[in-house]
Amino acid sequence: VNPQRDIGASHIHGLRAKDLLDAPLFAEVADDLLELVAGRTVAAHNASFDMRFLHAELSRAGYAIEQRPSALCTMRWAGRLVGPAKLEHCCEALGIELSNAHNALNDARATAQLLSHLVAMCPHNPDWSRDELASREFGWPASTGHAGTAKLRSRDVIPTSEHAWLDSVLSATWIPGVPADEAGYLLVLDRALLDRKISLTEGRELEVAAKSSGLPPERIEKLHLQYLRSLAQEALADQVVTAQERLGLEEVAHALRLTGQDIDDALALAMTTANPEASQHSSFTLITGDRIVFTGEMSRSRDDLVGEIVAAGLCSGGVTKSTKLLVTSDPDSMSGKAAKARAYGIPVVDEDTFTRYFDAYLSSNS
């Protein structure tokens, strides 16, 4: 489900924001879930943790549920009967296969196997029977009649091509509703490519920009070449293209499905003539007083990052219209800060991109 917030801990559970962008909201699958659990004993490993989430989400979705649901906790009972409590340790002790731990389906299957072992160990234990009965007789809220209506989404069906947005833009025939607005499209493109790649969310923003501007596919392709040429002109401003500048050109070309020959042609043009197209691209720089906002898990603590930029003359805080950058661990972040930044047209970049611009800022002020 789409949590409508930053998902965090991707290094543990393997999910990225792009996996969840088109997933249903909890409220859209709540009836399906209620049909599954009503009248049944619910089992979970560390049940109190999961039941708190169910209680909160059902309440948020408007269901009347006064208390936390009851469930049979395999973690508590494994600790009592087997010794180990963590799921992976229980599985190891009982010879249960657990591959790709922290994947929800794999964890659920392993818990089901653990449950069968526990059932065999205490068929007549009164405490076990009490836990089982309390869960089976829990008064779940009534369904609202919307079960089976949610459009489910597997994490395996996200677009496999990083150029899916470009395929969509170039294959469609836009019907101009307003005069062609190339500057608007280039503005969105420039913001998206600040980190030299285009995320799923940014690709969709570019689709919308192309459609609203009424730009035909052939003009989109020319604008992409124009953008690359403006970057080449900027790279050659000092008559030298460094390895880092060349890498930047290659990354942008890859994001736009342009070729190495396109880069060479752009550099050759920049060397032989003043490129008027370059004036349409302004180099992004940080200046003293700029507001930088962080969201999600970073490689360093938020306090350390904020302290460092404030000491260097920048500022932080919440997202406002004057924010220069939003830095996130996931370019498709669904956090409230990310949503607000996109609504204001503020670039959303990863930590490496921020570090690159911050280092340049420090050098220019040293």
- Cα–Cα distances (Å) from 279 to 159, 169, 235, in that order, read 35, 25, 13
Is 146 considered catalytic here?
Answer: no
Exposed/middle/buried for 190, CB within 10 Å: 0-12, 13-18, 19+? middle
Tokens 């007789």 — which residue?
137
Q: What is the enclosing helix (H) or strand (E) of 236?
A: none
In 10 A of CB 242, how many CB atoms? 10
Q: What are phi and psi of 220, to 5 degrees?
A: -60, -45
Of residues 115, 126, 143, the one with CA closest to residue 45: 115
Residues 6+ apart with CB under 8 A from 343: none
| Side-chain-side CA neighbours of residue 30 (13 Å) | 23
The answer to whether 69 and 63 have CB atoms below 8 angstroms apart is: no
Q: What are phi and psi of 337, to 5 degrees?
A: -65, -40
The answer to whether 226 and 208 have CB atoms below 8 angstroms apart is: no
One of 102, 124, 254, 281 is an active-site residue; which one? 102
Active-site residues, by number, are 102
